[in-house]
């Protein structure tokens, strides 16, 4: 069976997740067994297999790749990321680990979610920002993530081999944020897994608890945290679908969380800064652009149902409303590709790369499509660039194909060997081609 360029099977995903588990175990074994240490937030004794330098390195190395597998930077409004960073740094300063190299970024995804990598590398999606009403609510989300990082929750779960997948949705026509999930290789796969895995109720309660204390300390009204939890619990009971794949999957809400947060706020005292006006002002641009993102999301939904004509109309509407959003051209390119209009697709992928050159998936689309048009140098350049940020088995496989066409046998063997390390159909195809070359 030929490997499709875009659609992935669930099997591939599972194979690759087990590869990640193996790498986590290998990582845990590779580090010195330093035994017990004291949790920097709670003061409790805990197992410490992964030292602080590894913790910091993991976050620093995987921050950009993980941003990219979760939608990429929301580059059309850099002011918004500046604002979120300011609020985040205010909370980080009063945390139990103020010296971590914290960073905050807004991601270009409609899925309401936020995540933290080890070492304080934090992200919030624009799809969650639009659900919030004021700065205190934003501070509560960021404070919660700060605790996950400061208390080393991900690191603890990695040590215990307990990274539980929160489920990766949308692998049909794969028009989702996680379409490449099963094909990502190496450390970038671990980063994506950390961003998408579920925290235990114990970790959630701990993050809420210290997050509320940090809010109080930073001068925010901690009641905002309770309000958000109440809202999330209500939404989760109504099972609003976009939330199920996002925040609720990774940070599951519960009545117990609401109850404990209420009691804690009663104890420390409600009241403090809300920042409703400033939040409204900082969010004005995103809110005004929302119709463009809604049109894009609708187009994605139509395309995943195979209604390509209607999808094309919708994505054209999005482009009319916001012509400098790379994501829209990438989607239109994929729709053209589906309709066998490779030349039109090429123009759109080129535009997406021009608008956001660092983004691996726009490079990947551009490279795969160039190969289809037999534009070998362009394919090679783009696939190589894609792999520099987020390595994927499909890019290695197709770089092997380019090398074969350009009569670079040794290079082809190297690329196919790399692709063969992954799982699923991509690896099978790579192994077949490798066997044919080395006969």
* Site for Zn ion, rule CB under 5 A: 199, 204, 207, 251
Q: How far apart are CA 416 and CA 23, in angstroms?
A: 21
Residue 139 or 286 having the CB closest to Zn ion: 139
Q: How far apart are CA 62 and CA 116, in angstroms?
A: 11
Residue 204 or 429 having the CB closest to Zn ion: 204
Closest distance between Zn ion and the C-beta of residue 121, in Å?
15
Residue 35 or 202 having the CB closest to Zn ion: 202
Strand 121-125 versus strand 103-107 pairing type: parallel
Q: How far apart are CA 413 and CA 416, in angstroms?
A: 5
Closest distance between Zn ion and the C-beta of residue 43, in Å?
20
What angle is formed at CA 66 by the lines to CA 370 and CA 11, rounded to 5 degrees? Answer: 70
Closest distance between Zn ion and the C-beta of residue 36, in Å?
25
Q: How far apart are CA 322 and CA 333, in angstroms?
A: 16
Q: How far apart are CA 316 and CA 292, in angstroms?
A: 10
CA-wise closest residue to 166 among 78, 48, 221, 246: 246
Residues 6 or more apart in contact with residue 188 via CB below 8 angstroms: 62, 65, 66, 69, 389, 390, 391
Structure tokens at 415: 């690329």
Residue 95 or 382 having the CB closest to Zn ion: 95
Closest distance between Zn ion and the C-beta of residue 147, in Å?
8
Query: Which of 287-310 are b and which e, b meaning 16 or more Cβ less than 10 Å from the residue's Cβ?
Result: eebeebbebbbbbbebbeeeebee
The residue of the chain with the least Cβ separation from Zn ion equals 251
Residue 148 or 380 having the CB closest to Zn ion: 148
Closest distance between Zn ion and the C-beta of residue 237, in Å?
18
Residue 72 or 253 having the CB closest to Zn ion: 253
DSSP 33-101: ---EEE-TTT--EEE--S-HHHHHHHHHHHHHHHHHHTT-B-TT-HHHHHHHHHHHHHHHHTSS-TTS-
Residue 251 or 332 having the CB closest to Zn ion: 251
Structure tokens at 328: 């829209």
Beta carbons of 145 and 116 less than 8 angstroms apart: yes
CA 105 to chain centre: 11
Query: Which of 314-336 are b and which e, b meaning 16 or more Cβ less than 10 Å from the residue's Cβ?
Result: bbebbbebbeebbbbbbbbbbbb
Query: What 8-state DSSP symbol labels residue 132?
Result: -
Give the sign of the dihedral formed by CA 58, CA 64, CA 66, CA 67: positive
Residue 157 or 378 having the CB closest to Zn ion: 157
Closest distance between Zn ion and the C-beta of residue 114, in Å?
8
Closest distance between Zn ion and the C-beta of residue 247, in Å?
8
CA 186 to chain centre: 15
Residue 127 or 424 having the CB closest to Zn ion: 127
Closest distance between Zn ion and the C-beta of residue 199, in Å?
5
Residue 137 or 382 having the CB closest to Zn ion: 137
Residue 81 or 207 having the CB closest to Zn ion: 207
Closest distance between Zn ion and the C-beta of residue 126, in Å?
19
Strand 45-47 versus strand 114-117 pairing type: unpaired
Closest distance between Zn ion and the C-beta of residue 122, in Å?
12
Closest distance between Zn ion and the C-beta of residue 320, in Å?
38
């Amino acid at each position: 069976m030929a490997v499709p360029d875009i659609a992935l099977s669930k099997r591939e995903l599972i194979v690759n997740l087990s590869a990640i588990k193996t790498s986590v175990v290998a990582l845990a074994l590779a580090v010195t067994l330093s035994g017990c240490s004291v949790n920097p937030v709670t003061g409790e004794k805990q197992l410490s297999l992964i030292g602080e330098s590894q913790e910091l390195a993991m976050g620093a190395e995987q921050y950009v790749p993980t941003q990219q597998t979760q939608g990429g930077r929301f580059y059309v409004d850099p002011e918004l990321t500046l604002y979120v960073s300011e609020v985040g740094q205010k909370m980080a300063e009063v945390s139990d680990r103020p010296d971590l190299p914290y960073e905050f970024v807004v991601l270009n995804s409609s899925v309401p979610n936020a995540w933290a990598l080890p070492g304080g590398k934090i992200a919030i999606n624009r799809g969650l920002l639009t659900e919030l009403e004021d700065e205190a609510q934003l501070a509560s989300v960021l404070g919660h993530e700060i605790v996950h990082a400061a208390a080393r929750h991900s690191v603890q779960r990695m040590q215990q081999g307990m990274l539980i997948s929160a489920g990766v949705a949308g692998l049909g026509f794969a028009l989702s944020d996680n379409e490449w999930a099963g094909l990502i290789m190496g450390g970038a796969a671990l980063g994506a897994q950390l961003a998408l895995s579920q925290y235990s109720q114990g970790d959630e309660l701990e993050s809420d608890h210290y997050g509320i204390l940090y809010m109080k300390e930073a001068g925010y009204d901690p009641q905002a945290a309770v309000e958000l939890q109440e809202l999330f619990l209500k939404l989760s009971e109504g099972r609003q679908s976009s939330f199920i794949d996002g925040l609720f999957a990774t940070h599951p809400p519960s009545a117990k969380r609401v109850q404990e947060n209420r009691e804690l706020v009663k104890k420390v005292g409600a009241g403090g800064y809300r920042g409703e006006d400033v939040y409204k002002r900082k969010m004005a641009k995103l809110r005004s652009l929302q119709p463009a993102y809604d049109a894009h999301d609708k187009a994605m939904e139509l395309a995943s149902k195979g209604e390509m004509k209607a999808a094309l109309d919708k994505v054209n509407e999005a482009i009319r409303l916001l012509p400098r959003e790379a994501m829209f051209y990438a989607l239109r390119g994929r729709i053209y590709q589906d309709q066998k209009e490779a030349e039109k697709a090429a123009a759109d992928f080129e535009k997406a790369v021009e608008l956001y050159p660092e983004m691996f998936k726009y490079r990947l689309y551009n490279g795969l499509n160039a190969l289809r048009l037999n534009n070998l140098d362009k394919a090679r350049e783009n696939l190589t660039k894609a792999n520099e940020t987020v390595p994927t088995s499909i890019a290695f496989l197709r770089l092997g194909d380019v090398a074969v066409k350009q009569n670079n046998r040794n290079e082809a063997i190297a690329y196919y060997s790399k692709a063969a390390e992954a799982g699923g159909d991509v690896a099978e195809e790579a192994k077949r081609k490798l066997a044919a070359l080395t006969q």
